[in-house]
Structure 1
Amino acid sequence: MADFDFAAAVRWARFAPRATLARRRDADLPFLDAAQVAGSALLLDTCVSIDRLQGRAPAAVVRAITTRPVNHATVAIQELMRTVGVLNPDDPRTVAAVSAIGRQIDAMRPHRVFAADVLGRAALLSGILCRLQGYAADGRLRALQDCVLFLLAQKLGLTVLTRNIADFDGLLHLISAGRVLLYRTA
């Protein structure tokens, strides 16, 4: 793979500690305070968007994100879109929650979002699949990865080859235009 160097990634990961990390004292950590409103550009974690939507963001956070350049990772869009997919359509609160999430995502400037299209839609599809199939926590990441593969293949005009019959059957139920070839092992 041209854009990913497996050996370099493995070498890089060798620095990882072998023991459990101890939680440091708050005083030893870089917490945002009112004096740090101005500064370098920010990349927002999903929890920032959630805290803003729920009115729980501290004043220093609100000032920082309205003062500094703000960027968004596709991970945040994925997590927000997965929430949309998981929400129960019959719950009366769902319409308001989906609308608020939509406004949040629509407010993200395209030049400040990094690689969102396939990953965002895959997260949404994954949330729907998890809700419909009742996946437990261990199946949710697998479903997300399957959805990324499925939608990426669709975008690039490719066909997914897999023996994961159950999950891809579910995806084909949701998006019949997808191209998948299934197989079983002997």
Structure 2
Amino acid sequence: MTDFDFAGSVRWARFDPQKTLSRRKDDELPFLGDTAEAGQELMLDTCVYIDGLQGRAPDVVADLLDLRLSNHSTIAIQELMHTVGVLDPKHPGTKTAIRQIGTTVGEMHPHRVFAPDPDVLGKGALLSGILCRLQGYRKDARLRALQDCVLFLQAQKLGFTVLTGNIGDFDYLLQLIPTGRALFYRRT
């Protein structure tokens, strides 16, 4: 017997507005300010690691990570390892990128790494299906949507706030599940 509640998940159809969602204005969204503040524990979206490695995260993100507890999803590890797999071994920057990703994953404290449970995986798949249909996502965006939905619901279930630079997709998720929590930043 699985921990997944199929019937309860299907009732999630109530979150389906049955229309395409529009990106809201920035002043309607929870953006990280100029100064980091204490608050809820964070779950980091994969872009936080990548933006940090590429120098695209604003300084306030590092300040925030110094103040709050950071948690990691196996979804982010999966996406980082996918990146390692798709890098061109002949490219001169590949070895450095792989080393940096390896260091990043290696520095994740095991007690701060969480795997989504069957309920989160099932509901994340349903939510991503709704999102893909509403927004007309094509093949490339569908896997990304699935991973974002699972990470978002996992953070919600654990009581964490998702830190992300992926404003568009997580704005849609907040519209579909307003009880979820995300904190946005703009890449530099």
Shorter-normalised TM-score: what interval? 0.5 to 0.7
Distance in 1, Cα, partners of 2:3 & 2:62: 36
Partner amino acid, structure 2, of 1:55: G
CA contact (8 A) 1:37 1:60 kept: no
Partner amino acid, structure 1, of 2:64: A
Could you tell me how far 1:35 is from its partner in structure 2? Answer: 4.0
Find the counterpart in structure 2 of residue 48 from structure 1: 48
Kindly tell me: are residues 115 and 15 of structure 1, through their superposed partners in 2, closer, same or farther at Cα, counting changes over 3 Å? closer
Q: Equivalent residue of 1:14, what SS? A: helix
Query: Which stretches of structure 1, 4 residues or longer, exceed 4 Å deviation after superposition?
Result: none
> Within 5 Å, which residues of 2 pair with 1:25-64?
25-64=25-64
Distance in 2, Cα, partners of 1:27 & 1:8: 34
Q: Equivalent residue of 1:34, what SS? A: coil
> Within 5 Å, which residues of 2 pair with 1:144-155?
none
Per-residue CA distance 1:105-145 (angstroms, 9 max, x = gap): 011100111139xxxxxxxxxxxxxxxxxxxx56x95xxxx
> Within 5 Å, which residues of 2 pair with 1:105-184?
105-115=105-115, 141=143
Per-residue CA distance 1:4-32 (angstroms, 9 max, x = gap): 01111110233211011122111111001
Find the counterpart in structure 2 of residue 145 from structure 1: none
Distance in 2, Cα, partners of 1:87 & 1:22: 33
Find the counterpart in structure 2 of residue 21 from structure 1: 21
Per-residue CA distance 1:50-70 (angstroms, 9 max, x = gap): 010011111111111111000
Find the counterpart in structure 2 of residue 80 from structure 1: 80
Gaps spanning 5+ residues in structure 1: where?
117-136, 142-186
Find the counterpart in structure 2 of residue 168 from structure 1: none
Larger CA Rg, structure 1 vs 2: 1
**TM-score, length of structure 1 as denominator length:** 0.60
Kindly tell me: are residues 72 and 11 of structure 1, through their superposed partners in 2, closer, same or farther at Cα, counting changes over 3 Å? same
Partner amino acid, structure 1, of 2:48: V
CA contact (8 A) 1:41 1:68 kept: yes
Number of aligned residues: 120
RMSD: 1.9
Find the counterpart in structure 2 of residue 155 from structure 1: none
Q: Equivalent residue of 1:71, what SS? A: strand
Partner amino acid, structure 1, of 2:44: L
Q: Equivalent residue of 1:90, what SS? A: coil
Partner amino acid, structure 2, of 1:60: V
Find the counterpart in structure 2 of residue 11 from structure 1: 11
Distance in 2, Cα, partners of 1:104 & 1:27: 32
Distance in 2, Cα, partners of 1:114 & 1:13: 27
Could you tell me how far 1:34 is from its partner in structure 2? Answer: 3.1
Find the counterpart in structure 2 of residue 160 from structure 1: none
Gaps spanning 5+ residues in structure 2: where?
117-138, 144-188
Find the counterpart in structure 2 of residue 166 from structure 1: none
Distance in 1, Cα, partners of 2:15 & 2:56: 36
CA contact (8 A) 2:87 2:94 kept: yes
